[in-house]
Amino acid sequence: MKKHLNFLVVFILMSSFTRKPVAPSYLGSATLISIGTTDLKASVSFWKNLGFKIISESSDPLPEALITDGTLLVSLIQDKSHNLTVTYYNPNTESLIAEIESSGIKVNRQIRNAEGKLLQAIISGNDSFQVTLIHQEPAGLFQPEGPGMRNMKPGQLRKSASMPNAACGVYGELSYPVLKLEPAMNFWTKLGFKSNEIHTSPFRWTIMTDGMNNIGLYENTVFKGPAITYYVPDMANRTGLLEKETGKQVTETGLGPGRMQLITPEGTQVFLFPL
């Protein structure tokens, strides 16, 4: 059982949800963010105060809760050794990893069953950010359709009532720091991501997307590790409300005026950036 600890068991058929097909990316046709926690109950309770609801729960092989705010899908897994990862589901992972390795990216780990069948592959860039590929057809896996930062109109972004997540605003990207922007961009480009623009203030950064996930690359050492980033039009009003609802202090990120953060019970950084 131990060798399968990282295999995400989230294939409870969601027959009560009707969802349009999501255009697949190079990496897979369904995706979620997976987060390990030592106290699943505490993490689920906290995320519910951040505007999320439970989609499904399971206990085999590990206790897990699949949650969403309508835009972002998160798998909380009770596993102290499990870090935050971007996860894709692809029934052709075996051939995909061969193609990825031919591009010069190393597949760090392959997990196979006793018969040698591939279960998942794990890829890490130079900045240690992890991508997990699950070798399975994602039939029935819930995929949220709510709007994100990239597909909301400017007028909607200025109105608090238009925010998809009533607590946090609108999901923007999964942000993480890099030492050098170009090598990090090259890594994600080889995985099918594209960037429209490189920004230079307050430091160099860009957002890359494959149509399913947005990855924010920030050339700085101000923050450590990945952060789930939301954008809000009324930061002053939300700060006090979030502190009241979660019992956690909202603090400065050091990334610029008004850019705040919350730390979840399992240690996930949630950034709140003003619009």
Q: Cα separation of 83 and 255, whole Å?
A: 23
pLDDT digits (tens, 9 = 90+) for 200-250: 988 999 999 999 999 999 999 899 889 999 999 888 888 888 999 999 999
Q: Tokens at residue 39, please?
A: 């106290």
Q: What is the pLDDT of residue 5?
A: 38
- CA dist 8 to 71, 131, 185, 225, Å? 20, 13, 27, 22
User: Strand 251-252 and strand 260-263: pairing?
Assistant: antiparallel
The CATH number of 22-134 is: 3.10.180.10
Q: What is the pLDDT of residue 75?
A: 97
Q: What is the dihedral of CA 233, 235, 236, 240, to 10 degrees?
A: 130
- Nearest CA-CA partner of 107 in 89, 90, 132: 132
Phi, psi of 182 (to 5 degrees): -60, -45
Class of CATH domain 149-274: alpha beta
Evaluate if residue 261 carries a pLDDT over 90: yes
Q: Do domains 22-134 and 149-274 have the same CATH topology?
A: yes
Q: Cα separation of 230 and 63, whole Å?
A: 27
What are the residue ranges spanned by the domains of the chain?
Answer: 22-134, 149-274
